[in-house]
Amino acid sequence: MTLRETKVGDTVTVVKLNGSGAVKRRIMDMGITKGIPVYVRKIAPLGDPVEVTVRGYELSLRKADAELIDVE
């Protein structure tokens, strides 16, 4: 399952980051790494962006970036 497929209020754990190069590095620089819990706070009405809480701060991710993050 990807972060994009989760529902509001779910807390999930990052299993794997897909993608490569600058995109993967940017996601990791935002604090999303393997094993980190992520709480899904809000999803915009049209699904883009997704607001999550990671490492104690709120972060908005594009739908395309959320699809690159595998969670369980």
pTM: 0.83
Q: For the CA atoms of the chain, what is the radius of gyration?
A: 11
Structure confidence at residue 3 (pLDDT): 86
**Total number of domains constituting the chain:** 1
* Per-residue confidence in pLDDT tens, the chain, 72 aa: 998 889 899 999 999 998 888 988 998 888 898 999 999 999 988 878 999 999 989 999 998 888 999 999
pLDDT in the model for residue 58 = 93
Q: Can you give the CATH number for the domain in which 38 is found?
A: 2.30.30.90
pLDDT confidence of residue 5: 87
Residue 54: its pLDDT value, please?
Answer: 93
Q: Give me the domain span that covers residue 66.
A: 3-71
